[in-house]
A and B are shown apart, each in its own frame.
Chain A
């Protein structure tokens, strides 16, 4: 059973002093919020679960570099974002290689057009959400993550920059590019409805 009650800094001190089991308290405390952001970035529960595990593992391994004046929740959140970013980046490569082998560049347009072939049908079948998901997949990993953090996690551009390891202005540009791409992808829905 995981011990609870100590604040994050006290737990970290105990872990660094050799009490591995103390880390369980941090895992229990932060797992759910990490899963939420991991899912929003990866769009996949299985991937999000893996990201949570990977982030907490990395966090444990880097715990000695954690600075006491920081907030552990923010620190591990950023690690989770990086892990999710890495995961969708790897997945993107896999998908790209698969698509390039099996489809032509026009295929995606055809697929989107196919999904958007009948707005009534899409609305009725509830596939608008699926189309939005497809639009999300068209974003780069950085754009998608920046957009998720801005649009769903209410992060500031400074926080997004820190999580992604880029400057605030670059983070703002990534959000803007993501919004523009999404609007362009989803414009067909707006026109036909």
Chain B
């Protein structure tokens, strides 16, 4: 039976006498090793070493006060470019992009808001449109006057004269409807009444089922008061002087 070496006994002592360990079992069984271990244990347990005097509660503070002046503060860590520069640049770029986009959208909206009143003003003035209406109306009244004069002096027995009257009436009828519609939207009751009467006369002239003949013309002249209508047309035509410009008529919307 081999005995434990001193080294093993020392290790056994510092592993807190683990009786279950192989060394512990051996010491329990071997008288010689048990005696050696007892002597070792006595020596080690009787060793008394000087203990430091207890430090007071402020010891740590005093150490720090003494140490602090010797220390230099660590420099604040610099950010890696991927974490700082790159993202900061990206942030700036994004901010600039948003700014440009916002400015563009704001400009577009502002332009839209500014365009509408201009359009409305133009529309409200209706100057070109009115000018066209006036030209068309003046021409229409001229032609209507001539038709009515021809109707007044028509030779009902001559087919050569009656047929152009009917064709002219058909042509004027379409133009008259346009003028009547324009006058209806405006605020000139005299014009509207005259064009309305003219419309009925032209309709009769253009759409006589038996064709124009002396009886029909006589009836139209009497029933439709073509002479009176001729007078109204001439009065209306006189209200549109030759060469009148649009600006002098104002924005009356068809009123002449």
A positions within 8 Å CB-CB of B = 2, 15-21, 23-24, 27-32, 35-36, 39-40, 43, 45, 48, 52-53, 56-57, 60, 63-64, 128-129, 132-133, 136, 150-152, 172-173, 175-176, 179-180, 182-183, 186, 190
Contact = CB atoms under 8 A, between A and B. Distances in A.
24 contacts: A16-B77, A17-B76, A18-B73, A19-B73, A20-B74, A27-B67, A28-B61, A28-B63, A30-B60, A31-B64, A45-B53, A53-B63, A56-B67, A57-B70, A60-B67, A128-B48, A129-B48, A136-B49, A151-B47, A175-B10, A176-B6, A179-B10, A180-B6, A183-B43
Interface of B: 6-7, 10-11, 14, 40, 42-44, 47-50, 52-53, 55, 59-61, 63-64, 66-68, 70-77
A192 B63 CA distance: 45
Nearest 8 interchain pairs by C-beta: A28-B60, A20-B73, A39-B52, A31-B60, A27-B64, A18-B76, A24-B64, A31-B63
Contacts of A43: 49-50
Contacts of A186: 43, 47
Contacts of B70: 57
B55 A35 contact: yes
A53 B64 contact: no
The DSSP consensus for interface residues of chain B is helix
B52 A15 contact: no
A152 B49 contact: yes
Contact of B66 (A19, A35, A53): A53
A57 B63 CA distance: 11
Given A18-B74, A190-B43, A132 B63 contact: no
The DSSP consensus for interface residues of chain A is helix
Contacts of A128: 48
Given A56-B67, A190-B43, 19 more contacts: A2-B60, A17-B77, A18-B75, A19-B73, A20-B71, A20-B73, A20-B74, A27-B60, A32-B59, A39-B52, A40-B49, A43-B49, A45-B53, A57-B67, A57-B71, A129-B49, A129-B50, A133-B50, A151-B44
A150 B44 CA distance: 12
A32 B14 contact: no
Nearest to B63: A31
Contacts of A36: 52
Contacts of A57: 67, 70-71
Contacts of A133: 49-50
Contacts of B52: 35-36, 39-40, 45, 48
A101 to B, nearest CB: 28
Nearest to A64: B74
Nearest to A18: B76
Contacts of B53: 45
A20 B72 contact: yes
Contacts of B60: 2, 27-32
Nearest to B55: A32
A19 B71 CA distance: 11
A30 B67 CA distance: 14
A171 to B, nearest CB: 11
Nearest to B76: A18
A159 B44 CA distance: 21
B11, B50, B53, B70: most-surrounded residue (chain A CB, <10 A): B50
